[in-house]
Amino acid sequence: MEQDESRQRGMHRRDFLRGAALGLAGLALPLDRADASFWEAFFQKHFREMNDEEIKQVISRLEKEYAQKFKKQIEIGADKPIPGVLYGYGLDLSRCIGCRRCVYGCVAENNQSIDPQIHWITVLRFRKGEKWVDLENSEKYYSPEKVPEEEYFYMPVQCQQCENPPCVRACPTQATWKEPDGIVVIDYNWCIGCRYCMAACPYGARRFNWGAPNRPEEKINPKTHYLGNRPRYRGVVEKCTFCIQRTRKDPGRYPACVEACPVGARKFGNLLDPNSEIRYAIEHKRVFRLKEDLNTSPKFYYFFAYGR
Amino acid sequence: MLEKALSGSNRYWAWIFFLLAVIGIGCIAYMKQLNEGLGITGLSRDVSWGLYIGQFTFLVGVAASAVMLVIPYYLHDFKKFSKIVILGEFLAVSAVIMCVLFIMADMGQPMRVANILLHPTPGSIVFWDVVVLNGYLLLNIVIGWTTLGADRKGVKPPDWVKPLIYLSVPWAVSIHTVTAFLYAGIPGRHFWLTAVMAARFLASAFSGGPALLILLALLVRKFSKFDPGAEAIQAVGKIVTYAMFANVFLLGLEFFTAFYSNIPGHMHPFLYLYTGIDGHTKLVPFMWISSILAVVSLAILVFPHLRRNENILAFACAILFISLWIDKGFGLIIGGFVPNMFEGITEYWPTLLETLITIGVWAMGFLVLTVLYKVAIAVREEDAAVEH
C-alpha cells in the first residue's frame, strides 16, 4: 500500500514536470496524449442519437479507458428497455428497521465514490406517535447502537423515478431523460454539470461529483450499464437508476437495495403486469407517494402493510 | 476606436495592471478548480449553487438596468440622457460578460457547454437564458459601438440602429425575467416558487444597476473631462429611488404570504435567513445588514434635497448597491436551498478559492468596463474640444 502511494507520487511528479514543460501552451487540453480518445470523447454524439454500431464503438472506447484506469476489465452493457415493462417500486414502512443495508448494498453495486462519499439512498428517521410522515422533523444522521429503535420509524428515500420528472424538464442539454420503461437516466458523457436538475428535484435524489470519484479497484463492480453504474467522472450528476444493469436483463435481477433488505420491506416489479408484487401492494395496501401535490407522479410507492 | 484604450495616464495603466493582476490570481484559482473539481468550493449536496450563481443572477440585473436609460432617451426623447446612455450600454456589456464567466465557473464540465447549443432544449429555462443573454450582449455591443462611432464623426447614428434600440428594451426585460424563471418554476422550493420573483428581480435590477451607474458617472466626471451631466445623474437618482421602493414593497409581499399563510415550507427559508434555525445563523447578520442598508438608503433618497447633494447621493447609492448585492447575490440563492428538500439544514459559506475566482471575474468585468469607458470618454472629450 505504502509502496503504491510512493509510486503514485513519483508518477505525479513526472506528470507534473511534463505538464509544466507543456504548461502554458497546452493549458488543460491534453494535446500531448498519444491516443485520440480525448477527441473521440469530445466529439461523442448524444446517446439517443447514436445507432447501435456507434454505441458499440463508444462502449469499446470506454471499456479500454476503464481497463487502463482501474486495471481490470469492466463490462458496459447497453440493454434496451424491455417492451411492455414500466418499473415500479414499493416500500413497506412498517417493516423498515432503518439499518441502512440498502444504502451500502446500493453503493457496492453501483460504484459510487467512497471518498468523496456518495450515497444514492437516504434513510430518514421519524419519531413515532407524533405525526404522520413529517419531513420537518425527520433526521438524516441518526446513529444509535442498535436498530430498530422502539420510538422511531424510518423512511428510505431515493430517486422516485417520476413519470413527470422536474429534473428532466430542467436539463439544458437533454443529458437526462426518461426511458420507455420509466427509468430516469443520465448520460455521464453529455452532462455539463450545471446542477439545475439538483435544484429542480423535489426529493433531493441527485448527487454531484464534487471531486474525481474515488473507489478502490477491487471494489469496482465490473458488471455495468452505460446509463447506470459504470464509473462516473468528476463534475457530472448521478442518481439511482433502479439498478438498470440488473433489471433490464432477461431474466433480470432485483435492484441491489431490494436484495439487501433483511426484512423484505422493499418490493419491485412491473407496473403493467397485473400479477406483479408491486401491483398487489398498490391494489391491496394503502399506498402513498411523496409530495403528491407537486404532480411529479413518482413510481415509488410507500405503504404501511401492517401494525404500528 | 479601440486604439483610444491604448493611450492613457499612468494612473490609467496602474489601474489596468492592478486589474490584470487580480484576474491572474483568479485564473490560478480557477486552474485549481478545473483540476480538482467544484469540491474546492463551499458547495455541497444540499446547497448545490452558491456564490457563482448568485453573482450571475445579480449581474443579469445590472445588465438589464441599461434599459432605464434607453427608455427615457430613445422612447421619450429625454435629451439630458444623451451623454450618460452610452455608459449604461457599456455597463450592460461588461455585466453580461461577467454573467457568462460566472456560468462557466459554475460548470462541472466546462468543456461540454456547447452541448446547450448542440441540443437546443426549449423546455429548459437555462437554454433560453443562454439565448437571451448572448442576444443582449450582441445588441448592446452593436448599439453602443455604432452610436459612439457616429458621435465621433459628428453625424447621426445610422437608421438601422433604431430598430435594434427599440428591440433592446423588451430584450432587457426578457433577460431578467428568464433569469427569474430559472428559480420561479421549480416545484418544491418554496422560497423561489413565487409569481412576483420576476417582478422583484426587475425592481431590484432597476435600482441596483442605476445606483452603480451613478457611482460610475461620478467617477468618470472626477477622473476625466467628460461630464455625463448633473441633471442626468439626478434623473437616474429618481429612478433608483422609485425602483428601490418597488423592490422593498415586493419583498414585503413575500413576507406577508409566507407568514400569514403560516405554511412551514414558505416560512422556513425566511426564518433561516433572518433569524437562523436551530443555531444555524451564518447568513443572519448579512441579511440584517442588507435590510438596514436598504432602509437607510431609502430614508436618504426619498428626500429630494438630500438626493441633490451628490456626495449624499453617492453614499446612498453605495449602501443601496451593497444591500441588493447581499440580498440577491447571496441570500436569494442560499435561501432556496436551506432548508433542504427534507427540511434538514446544511449551511454554505464560500471558500477562499471560490472567493478569489469570484473577485477575478469581477476584475475581468471591470477591465472590460474600463476599456469601453476609456473609448467612450476619449470620443466625448474630442467632441467637447471640437464644440468649444
* Same domain assignment for residues A25 and A78: no
Bridge pairing between strands A300-303 and A87-92: parallel
B-chain CB neighbours of A296 within 8 Å are 187
Q: Which of A172, A190, A202 sits opposite B124 (nearest CB)?
A: A172
* Same domain assignment for residues A85 and A204: yes
pLDDT at A271 over 80: yes
DSSP sequence for B245-299 = HHHHHHHHHHHHHHHHHT-HHHHHHHHHHHT-BTTB-TTHHHHHHHHHHHHHHHH
Superfamily of domain B2-383: Formate dehydrogenase/DMSO reductase domain (1.20.1630.10)
* Same domain assignment for residues A79 and A27: no
d(CA B68, CA B59): 15
pLDDT at A24 over 50: no
Q: Which three cell numbers stand for residue A153?
A: 420509524
**Phi, psi at residue A152, to the nearest 5°?**
-125, 155
The candidate with the shortest Cα–Cα distance to B290, out of B351, B255, B331, B253, is B331
A-chain CB neighbours of B31 within 8 Å are 28
pLDDT tens digits, residue range A159-178? 999 999 999 999 999 999 99
Residues 4-33 of B with CB under 8 A from A: 31
- A223 forms beta bridges with A75
By CB neighbour count within 10 A (0-12 exposed, 13-18 middle, 19+ buried), where does B334 fall?
A: buried
- Please indicate, yes or no, if residue A59 is contained in any of the structural domains: no
What count of CB pairs under 8 Å joins A to B?
Answer: 133
Task: Report helix, strand and coil shares of chain A as percent, to nearest 5.
Answer: 30, 15, 55
For residue A109, how many C-alpha atoms fall within 13 Å in the half-sphere facing its CB? 27
A-chain CB neighbours of B39 within 8 Å are 116, 210-211
Q: Is A170 helix (H, G, I), strand (E, B) or coil?
A: helix
Q: Is B201 on the interface with A (CB under 8 A)?
A: no
The total number of structural domains in chain A stands at: 2
Q: Is the dihedral of CA B41, B54, B326, B284 positive or negative?
A: negative
d(CA A240, CA A229): 9
* CB neighbourhood size of A145 (10 A): 5
**CB-based contact B130:B104 (threshold 8 Å):** no
- Which helix (H) or strand (E) element contains residue B152? helix B125-153
End-to-end CA distance of chain B: 22
CA–centroid distance for B215 within its chain: 14
- Please indicate, yes or no, if residue A44 is contained in any of the structural domains: no
If pLDDT is split at 50, 70 and 90, which confidence band does B353 have?
A: very high
Q: What is the CATH number of the domain that holds A269?
A: 3.30.70.20
**CB-based contact B251:B257 (threshold 8 Å):** no
Contact B48 A195 (CB under 8 A): yes
By CB neighbour count within 10 A (0-12 exposed, 13-18 middle, 19+ buried), where does B246 fall?
A: middle
pLDDT tens digits, residue range B318-346? 999 999 999 999 999 999 999 998 888 99
B-chain CB neighbours of A190 within 8 Å are 112, 115
* Same domain assignment for residues A22 and A116: no
d(CA B232, CA B243): 17
Q: Is A70 on the interface with B (CB under 8 A)?
A: no
Q: Is A31 on the interface with B (CB under 8 A)?
A: no
Residues 343-382 of B with CB under 8 A from A: 343-344
Q: Is B182 on the interface with A (CB under 8 A)?
A: yes
A-chain CB neighbours of B182 within 8 Å are 196
Q: Is A198 on the interface with B (CB under 8 A)?
A: yes
Q: Which of B46, B119, B344 sits opposite A46 (nearest CB)?
A: B119
* Same domain assignment for residues A23 and A92: no
pLDDT tens digits, residue range B155-198? 889 999 999 999 999 999 999 999 999 999 999 899 999 999 99
Contact B49 A195 (CB under 8 A): yes
Contact B124 A175 (CB under 8 A): no
Q: Is A166 on the interface with B (CB under 8 A)?
A: yes
Bridge pairing between strands A75-77 and A223-225: parallel
What average pLDDT score do residues A93-120 get?
95
Q: Is A148 on the interface with B (CB under 8 A)?
A: no
**CB-based contact B109:A192 (threshold 8 Å):** yes
Q: Domain limits at A7?
A: 1-32
- Please indicate, yes or no, if residue A218 is contained in any of the structural domains: yes
Q: Is A131 on the interface with B (CB under 8 A)?
A: no
Interface-testing mutation among B43, B118, B124, B125, with chain A (most A C-beta atoms within 10 A): B124
B-chain CB neighbours of A200 within 8 Å are 186-187
A-chain CB neighbours of B115 within 8 Å are 173, 175, 190, 192
Contact A135 B37 (CB under 8 A): no
- A154 forms beta bridges with A125
Residue with cell 503514485: A8
Residue with cell 457530472: A236
Q: Which of B39, B124, B264 sits opposite A170 (nearest CB)?
A: B124
Contact A291 B186 (CB under 8 A): no
What average pLDDT score do residues A173-197 get?
96
* Same domain assignment for residues A7 and A139: no
Contact B38 A235 (CB under 8 A): yes
Q: Which three cell numbers stand for residue A18?
A: 511534463
What average pLDDT score do residues A190-196 get?
95
Contact A235 B37 (CB under 8 A): yes
pLDDT of residue A36: 62
CA–centroid distance for B341 within its chain: 29
Contact A208 B121 (CB under 8 A): no
pLDDT of residue B383: 73
How long, in residues, is chain B? 388
Shortest distance, CA A236 to any CA of chain B (angstroms): 6
pLDDT of residue A196: 96
pLDDT at A93 over 90: yes
* Same domain assignment for residues A26 and A81: no
pLDDT tens digits, residue range B130-146? 999 999 999 999 999 99
Q: What is the pTM of this model?
A: 0.91
* Same domain assignment for residues A181 and A121: yes
- Please indicate, yes or no, if residue A43 is contained in any of the structural domains: no
* Same domain assignment for residues A130 and A10: no
pLDDT at B49 over 70: yes
* Same domain assignment for residues A124 and A262: yes
What ipTM was estimated for this complex? Answer: 0.91
Q: Which of A136, A171, A193 sits opposite B108 (nearest CB)?
A: A193
CA–centroid distance for A253 within its chain: 16
Contact A138 B344 (CB under 8 A): yes
* Same domain assignment for residues A6 and A110: no
Indicate left, alpha or beta for B5 from its phi (over 0: left) and psi (-120 to 50: alpha). Answer: alpha
Residues 84-123 of B with CB under 8 A from A: 103, 106-113, 115-116, 118-119, 121, 123
Is cis: bond before A148, omega within 30 of 0?
Answer: yes
How far CA A138 is from CA of A118, A154, A257, B334, in Å, comes to 20, 9, 21, 21
Q: Is A26 on the interface with B (CB under 8 A)?
A: no
Q: Is A37 helix (H, G, I), strand (E, B) or coil?
A: helix
pLDDT of residue B386: 60
The DSSP output letter for B113 is T
- Please indicate, yes or no, if residue A47 is contained in any of the structural domains: no
In chain B, beta strands by DSSP E: none
pLDDT tens digits, residue range B56-77? 999 999 999 989 999 999 999 9
**Phi, psi at residue A90, to the nearest 5°?**
-125, 145
pLDDT at A33 over 90: no
d(CA B209, CA B57): 12
* Same domain assignment for residues A19 and A134: no
**CB-based contact B304:B290 (threshold 8 Å):** no
